[in-house]
Each structure stands twice: as structure tokens, then as C-alpha cells.
Structure 1
Amino acid sequence: MDFAFDARTEELRARLLAFMDEYVYPAEAVAHEQRARLASPWDTPPVVEELKAEARHQGLWNLFLPDAEHGAGLTNLQYAPLAEITGRSPQLAPTATNCAAPDTGNMEVLAQFGDERQQKQWLQPLLNGEIRSAFAMTEPDVASSDATNITTRIERDGDEYVITGRKWYISGAMNPDCKIFIVMGKTDPDGADIRRQQSMVLVPRDTPGVTVRRAMQVFGYEDHWHGGHAEVVFDHARVPVSHLIGEEGGGFAIAQARLGPGRIHHCMRLIGMAERAIELMCRRAVSRTAFGKALAQQGVVHNWIADARVAVEQLRLLVLKTAWMMDTVGNRGAHTEIQAIKIATPRTVVGILDRAIQLHGAGGVSQDFPLAELYAGARTLMLADGPDEVHQRSLARRELKKYLP
């Protein structure tokens, strides 16, 4: 087995690592200072636009999109180590390279299922980094872990669809640059096939009847870097029928196609977050003394660091295997592996971040280190894109099926 990256991946890794060292890490403190002076906390700090311009100039742009017509044309296996690098600075690097969720998934949907007019009007500005977007599926009044539960209605009235419903934790919706929502709702709520009841429509933010009601917090964070997570109300909002993505009844299938790459992208970046945590643990351990000797000489600290390294190496191999399978047998063929990394990666990285926080003492839960915010993001991913228990249920059923008569 050959574990080496190919020449293109190595070349992009070198350029991306240099970009992180020269531009992204120094910009972290600058971005925080600029945000404190913005008229609105949801506005984008100027340094972010500078990073985007530099990344695009260096060809480190739209790396996530395998479609060579619209993106970099990389395979999942080639993109995995690049996404890991950007995960080391999740507040800045994914946005700087135009590889930030939820825009990535929305661009994939539009590239795969959008028609020519939809691609021209919405995909191209997203590819150019001129606008942001949101994906509106999760609802507060039902168990959204089962997507067939959604209650938002998309009803046809002549040449228009009328959308009525309430969504929440709609990532990116607080950002004033978020100009378009992809909304999932039911066009056929009484249909016999519960997976053919849903459809997806494009709803511009300025559509009458669309209200971004409030920002939802995550462990007290409003997550300004990713445009927040909003509660959004659709009160008889009307859009032309041409805003339908794909076909009526195709919403569930589109959602599944969107979530497969999204799940592995999150896991790739989580490994980068874990690497950042290990680095911070080691720097802290060699710089602090307690009870007469450096923390780096304490046996328990040795255990934490060693266990973290072993866990990250295991996760990376599983993620790379999953990426390879997605490239070779498709998302459906890699279903088990996608679920496995979605279960294993967030919970393992949460554990590593927890130990890193412990090693930093009070500083670990403060704003002076990125660990608390990283923890909040990693812990959220045990819920996002399907909670762990849903993936465990599905994966276990697949294993048990081998032994049933």
C-alpha cells in the first residue's frame, strides 16, 4: 500500500502551509481586533477579504469542489490533507480559501443539480466569493435528526411556490453577505413515499415573508466567523417555480448527496483542529512549572499527549480511507466508512480538546486561547449532519444484516 500523497497534493500542501504561516496565523489576532471595531458583529473584518484575495491570487481557491469546470478538480483523497491544514484555523482559513461550510455544500448542490440559470445567478457569485449562502433544513418543532419529519410547506400556486415554516440553526444566515437560502420543505406531505415528499427551492434573502429572527448561540458563542446560526421564519414567502432545484420530490436525495461530502469535510478539518490542540498542549507543557517541575515532566501530561497523537493518526487513516473509497466506489459505496468517521472523529477530537483545555487551566476556557471556541465547534459536530446516534443506528443495522437469515 502506498501512503504517499501524489505530486499535485504535495505541491498544494506546501503552498497552503506557507500561506497559513505567512498570512493566516498572523491574521487571527488582527481579525479579532478588527471585529471589535465593526459597526455590526456580523460584518466581515477587512483582513478576511485580504486573505481571500491573496488565496485566490495563489490559486488556493475552491479546493473542495471536484468538478474541474467550477472548482480545483481535486479528488477527495487529494483534498483531505488540504482541508486538515485549514482546520487548524477554522475561523479564517476555510473562508479565506472559499472552502467554508455551508457554502461548500450549497455550491456542490448547485453544481450537481442546478440548471444553467441557477448556476449563473447563484453558483458563480458563490464560486467567486462575492456572496455567502445558507442551507435551511433543521426545524425547532420536530426531531430533525429524521429529515422526513420536516414540516415546512412548499405549495405551488400558479407560477410560484409559497414557502411557510420555521427553521433554526441555519448556519451563515446572520452574515449580511448571505444572499440566498436553499430551503428544504414538503411539496407532497401526504405522498406514499416519505422520501419523495420533500423538495428544495432557492429563496433569496430579500424575499418578502423571509425574516431572519435571531442568532442562536452555541455554548454561549454566536459564531460570528461563520455568519452565525439563525432562526429564520418563512411566512408565505413566494418564489418563482423556476427556483426549484432538480425536481419535485427530489429534496431528500439531494440532501443525502450534499451531506456525504459535507461530513467528510468536517472530519478533515477536525483533524486539523486536533493537531492545533496537540501543538498548544506541547507548548504549554514545556513553558509551565508546577510542584517543582515542568508540566512536560508530569506523567499524566505524557499520557494525554501520547494518547492524542495515537488517536489523530488513527482518525487520519480512517478519513483518508473513506476519501479514497468515495473516489473509487462513490458515496453510496463508502456509506459505512462515512458514518464511521462521522461517529469517531468529533467525539475523539472533543476529548483531545478537553485535555488541552485542562492543561491550560483557566486559560483554556478563556478567550486568550482558541481552545474553548474549538471545543464548542467540535462538540456541535456530534449533532450536525446527523447526530451520532442516528449514524450508529444505521451502521449497526448494516452490520447485523450480514447475520440475519
Structure 2
Amino acid sequence: MLAVLLTALTAIPWAAPAAAAPAVPVALPITASLVRGDRTALVVDLSASTRPGKPSVTVTRDGVPQPANLIPLVSDGLAVALVVDTSVAGAATLPAWQSAAARFILEAPPTTQAVVIADSSPPAVIAGPQRGPTGTLRALTSVPARGARDTAAALTLAMRQFPAMALGRRLVVLYTTGMDAHGEDAGALAARFRQSGTILVVVGTASTGPYWSTAAGETGGFFAPAGDPVVVPALDQVSTVLGSRYLVELPTPPTLPARVSVRVDTGDLTLTGDAIVAAAAPPVPARNPALTRTAVILWIAVAGVAVLIAAAAYLRRRRSRPARGSRPAHGVRGSRPARGVRGSRSARGAGASGAAHDDTSAPPLVGTGSPVVGTAPPVVGTASPVVGPVARGHAAVAPPVVRGRATVHSDQPPDQP
């Protein structure tokens, strides 16, 4: 009986196990592209995967495979600059930021290098580069609130730390209650971070608006909004999001911009995405708000001085200009201008004097008979030939001057003997 059953079971056709269905590709978020010379690092987000383990990466350009590595952002070899808002305006939140920074450095890999920068004017490094949390924690707990906030300068100082770090291996974490970087555009700030190969993460109060989301997001980082006074959810977000960020390292394509295709296999998902690798933009100098205000004040002062000088010159010209109809100063050669009559008084006197010396009448000239009005320019040492009134229909010429004599006309009466 048993033999019959075994024979029947072997005769039944059994279906082969179905092959595992290929994983459906999922969009791969590529949050930033960092370029420095012949090396490129793409910041990718693998938070969609829930399976722990080491994922693999494949990069192609124009269908040709490219050498690439995939490494976690938070791993051995990381360098961190912790920038803490220590201004008087943010003094109420300073204890929360100190605790948040302390938690971050305690959870970082043991080989992490760290510095602490106080965001007060002027910003300063209060704990130099060191490994291990001891010195960093001591500096965080002893920093006081002072002065005004100068976030742009503090972030610039943070970017200058660890200059020898590999591309994308330098992280700046900012804890602030400030709304922005005090005058610097969010896009310009993000461009400076990308050019330096640095990733920015900002922990701030939820009321700061979109500035920090834009500035941090374009570097491959993010903005974690913190409650007031509860900041624990923001700290959890920093830990979770940073744990899902990876760097895809590859050679910079010889011709830029270039499109590359990235595929990451995590075991439970296949994520694919394209990225544009562009040449690094030239560095944008940070604007110092204090210098900007000084320049504006100097410009206003220079403009005010220029207006005063122009006004003084105008008034000086007005005062030095002679009034209309004023008689020339006494003793100046020349005759007084006519006052609306045919020939001036001095001209008539000159004509009479000339007739006394020479009674020869000039022949009449054919003309329109229009009177000649005005005075002749004075000649030094000789009588000024001045044309007197002319009868209608005739023209007259000045009488000749007797050689050796000069007639001087003056409005003053002759001296009495």
C-alpha cells in the first residue's frame, strides 16, 4: 500500500518555484553635487530603504560605467564644526543648543574631529580641532552669551576649518535662533558651501522661515526645526536624516556640465536617478554687515559734502556777478554804456571836442541813416573815436584826432582852480 502511494505522489507534476520578481526601481534623491578639481561627490538620500547593510552603487556616463564608491556621510574620517548661537538675543535658547551639540558629538564616530565656534560678534573658535568628546563638551558648557549675532562670519570661519579634508567629508552644524545670515542671500551662502565642499545642517526655531531650508538644502544638508523650549524632536531628526545620507564618489567628467546616471541597490530597493555635474562656481565673498553699513555711511557723507561744495560755489558766483545797469568802477578805462539814447553823453562830448580841433566836415555817406548806438573801445594814449548822433538819412564817421593830443572823457567835473 505504501508503495502505491509513493508511486502516485511521484506521478503528480509539481510546479517549479516562481522566480523572485525584480525590484521596481525607486527614484533616488540626489540632493547636491560637490565638485573639486578631478573629484566629484554626489550627496544621495537612502531613507526609503529599511534594510540595514552595505548598499552598492553603479554610475554610468553616456552608457559607460564609471568607477564609484558609496560611503555613509557619518562615518570614520568625518570633520564637524559646531556653530552655536551665543548672542545676547539668543541667550534664552543657549542651554538647549549646548545640550544639542553635546548630544551630537557624543553620538558621532570616535574618530570624528570637531571644533566649536561661538556665533557672537566677532565669532571665535572656542575649542580647537580635536578627536573625542571631552574637550568639545568642556567648551560647550563654559561658553557665555555675549554681544550681537554675526552668523555669516561664523559660518565663513567654520568653512575654513579642516582644509585638508576630502570632498564632502566636512560638516557644519549650526544651532541658531536667527532668521538668516544677516544680509547674505540663501543661494549665495549655499554656493559658498558647495564650492568649499562642505555640507550645512541647521537646527533652528520653527519660526525662522524658508531661508535656512534653502541654504542648507542646496549643500546636501537640511533644516531641522526645533520647538521652543522642546528641541528633542529636532535632535532626533538630525540623527535620523544624517544616518540616511551617503556620498557617491566618482571622477569628475572631462567635459562639464555632464549627466551621470546613478543606481543604488540596498537589498530591498533599487534606487535610480540622474545628476548634472557642473563646474564649481567661483567663490562668492561673504558680505560683512558692519562693513556694508560703514560704506553706506561714508557714501552719504561724501555725497553731502559734494552738495555743500556745489551750493557754496553757486552762491559765490551769484555774489560776484554785477547787477544789471550798474556803472563801472571809477578809473576803469572805457565809457559808460548808453542809456537808451542815440549816443552816450561821453560820445557827444567826444564829437564836440573833435569839432573844436578840426572843423572839416566828413563827406556824407550813402546809407540807411540808422543811428549808430554805443561806444567805441578805448585806445590808450589816443582819443577814442566815438560816433555821435547821426541825422536821418546820413551816416557820419568819427572826426580825426589831432596828432599829439588825447581827449580823456570823465564823468567827473574838472577840478576848480
Q: Same fold (TM over 0.5)?
A: no
TM-score range, shorter chain: under 0.3
TM-score normalised by length of structure 2? 0.21
Structure 1 length-normalised TM: 0.22
Question: Which has more radius of gyration?
Answer: 2
- Specify which structure has the bigger relative contact order, considering alpha-carbon pairs within 8 angstroms and separated by 6 or more residues: 2
